[in-house]
């Protein structure tokens, strides 16, 4: 009897262990660092919602070749040291094989660590510093990088407004240069990452460049900076902050009658801008790496349906383009994992190699097709530049930087 019980117990234990092992093998642990409480939470909260919704969609639609993703998400409050601590915890305790990251400061700070760990890191930081695989082989993202976006937006303004608007005709004829200034939080790597490229592009196009103005990510008053731009007689301002502080600068510019055009980096240009800035948002120019929330583009129905399914209590009118940015990041990582899994290499190195095989890969949601190579992690040469005009976002221009400046793109601009 005891012998039979022992055999039965051993059999049950064996079955349990086999099932447990099979179940564990069918789960893929992914880490995610988000800012839902810090200085970039005005855009970070919606991005975090999108991450959760997109992971649920992937799992409901076959997962990673039948394997389910388990998401381990943490709010690090935009604190670099906290991000490093959480990264270590997720790597050692939760055994994650890839990350969905957030900010530039923490992503750049972790870049050498993820290289050593062979940890694919798909970030919401689109810093061009992360695009040279010689230095950062495990950092990737789907969007045009900040530097490329800024070059394109400045070029679009030059082509479509400076060269075409009759109000600038006399100045063009006399050889007068357009006057350009930057507004951004100097201490934050996200804000400062593209500044070198921005000034280079301004020089290429023949601008006169004024003194940079330091504007806090938490700014509530920017009159001092706007008055400096007015004294300089600026025609064009670059805004490198997120939507909340950018809207303050636009309102102060309108109140003080600055009269300059405004170009806004991707994280400051979304559906909340006209809500916060009101009439001051008119003619604002910015970069949108994907469609705005609810637009009629491939994949948007899934986004909207899963926003209602996973976060039903959040009103649709509060959702932003940040949701789609998160979806694109998740879909990019998921494709890399599927290809790596099929190759029998579902690990960090295998995922990186798989992502480097993508060529004109369409993520949908109005984003540009993605191409990576072992030598270049810039996902696209094209940038969609928008203008907010007559109460709606409209395409101002689509700039192909490689086509326009082939030699500079190929030999000089990688990693700027």
What's the CATH code of the domain at 102? 3.40.50.2300
Residue 227 tokens read as 């008055």
Which residue carries 């926003």 as its tokens? 307
The confidence score (pLDDT) of residue 21 equals: 39
Residues 257 and 130 in one domain: no
Residues 40 and 98 in one domain: yes
Residues 42 and 133 in one domain: yes
Which residue carries 């009118």 as its tokens? 317
Is 68 within the bounds of a domain?
A: yes
Q: What are phi and psi of 361, to 5 degrees?
A: -80, 125
Residues 243 and 157 in one domain: yes
pLDDT in tens, the chain (416 residues): 544 545 444 444 444 443 443 344 589 999 999 999 999 999 999 999 999 999 999 999 999 999 999 999 999 999 999 999 999 999 999 999 999 999 999 999 999 999 999 999 999 999 999 999 999 999 999 999 999 999 999 999 999 999 999 999 999 999 999 999 999 999 999 999 999 999 999 999 999 999 999 999 999 999 999 999 999 999 999 999 999 999 999 999 999 999 999 999 999 999 999 999 999 999 999 999 999 999 999 999 999 999 999 999 999 999 999 999 999 999 999 999 999 999 999 999 999 999 999 999 999 999 999 999 999 999 999 999 999 999 999 999 999 999 999 999 999 999 99
CA pair distance 258, 260, nearest whole angstrom: 6
Residues 283 and 310 in one domain: no
The confidence score (pLDDT) of residue 25 equals: 59
Residues 233 and 301 in one domain: no
CB–CB of 46/319 below 8 Å? yes
Is 197 within the bounds of a domain?
A: yes
3-state helix, strand, coil in the chain (%, to 5): 50, 15, 35
Burial class from Cβ neighbours inside 10 Å (0-12, 13-18, 19+) for residue 360 reads: exposed
Q: Which residues pair with 208 in a beta bridge?
A: 179
CA pair distance 255, 233, nearest whole angstrom: 16
Residues 116 and 210 in one domain: no
Residues 268 and 336 in one domain: no
**Mean pLDDT score of the chain:** 94
Is 416 within the bounds of a domain?
A: no
Residues 160 and 277 in one domain: yes
Residues 68 and 153 in one domain: no
Domain interval for residue 258: 147-288+384-411
Is 62 within the bounds of a domain?
A: yes
Residues 134 and 206 in one domain: no
The confidence score (pLDDT) of residue 312 equals: 97
Is 167 within the bounds of a domain?
A: yes
Residues 111 and 204 in one domain: no
Q: Which residues pair with 238 in a beta bridge?
A: 182, 263
Is 5 within the bounds of a domain?
A: no
Global pTM?
A: 0.92
Is 221 within the bounds of a domain?
A: yes
What's the total number of domains in the chain? 2
Is 368 within the bounds of a domain?
A: yes
Instruction: Give the number of other CB atoms < 10 A from CB of residue 15.
Output: 10
């Amino acid at each position: 009897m005891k012998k039979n019980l022992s055999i039965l117990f051993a059999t049950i234990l064996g079955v349990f262990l086999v099932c447990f092992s099979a179940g564990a093998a069918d789960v893929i642990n992914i880490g995610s660092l988000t800012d839902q409480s810090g200085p970039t939470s005005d855009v970070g909260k919606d991005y975090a919602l999108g991450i959760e919704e997109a992971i649920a969609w992937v799992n409901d639609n076959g997962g990673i070749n039948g394997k389910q993703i388990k998401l381990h998400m943490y709010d690090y409050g935009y604190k670099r040291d906290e991000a490093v601590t959480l990264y270590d915890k997720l790597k050692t305790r939760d055994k994650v094989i890839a990350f969905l990251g957030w900010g530039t400061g923490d992503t750049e700070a972790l870049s050498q660590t993820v290289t050593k760990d062979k940890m694919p890191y798909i970030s919401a930081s689109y810093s061009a510093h992360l695009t040279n695989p010689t230095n950062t082989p495990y950092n990737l993202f789907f969007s045009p990088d900040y530097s490329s976006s800024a070059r394109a937006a400045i070029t679009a303004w030059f082509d479509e407004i400076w060269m075409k608007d009759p109000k600038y005709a006399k100045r063009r004829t006399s050889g007068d240069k357009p006057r350009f200034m930057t507004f951004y939080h100097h201490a934050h790597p996200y804000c400062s990452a593209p500044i070198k490229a921005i000034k280079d592009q301004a020089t290429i196009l023949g601008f006169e460049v004024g003194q940079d103005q330091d504007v806090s990510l938490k700014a509530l008053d920017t009159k001092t900076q706007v008055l400096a731009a007015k004294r300089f007689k600026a025609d064009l301002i670059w805004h490198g902050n997120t939507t909340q502080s950018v809207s303050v600068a636009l309102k102060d510019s309108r109140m003080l009658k600055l009269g300059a055009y405004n170009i806004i980096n991707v994280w400051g240009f979304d559906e909340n801008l006209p809500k916060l800035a009101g009439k001051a948002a008119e003619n604002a120019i910015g970069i949108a790496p994907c469609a705005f929330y609810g637009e009629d583009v491939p994949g948007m129905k899934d986004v909207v349906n899963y926003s209602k399914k996973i976060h039903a209590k959040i009103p649709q009118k509060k959702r932003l383009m940040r949701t789609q940015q998160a979806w694109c990041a998740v879909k990019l990582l998921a494709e890399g994992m599927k290809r790596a899994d099929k190759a029998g290499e579902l690990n960090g190195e295998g995922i990186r190699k798989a992502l480097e095989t993508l060529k004109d890969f369409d993520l949908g949601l109005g984003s540009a097709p993605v191409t990576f190579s072992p030598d270049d992690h810039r996902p696209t040469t094209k940038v969609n530049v928008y203008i907010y005009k007559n109460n709606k976002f409209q395409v101002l221009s689509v700039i192909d930087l490689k086509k326009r400046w082939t030699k500079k793109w190929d030999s000089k601009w990688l990693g700027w």
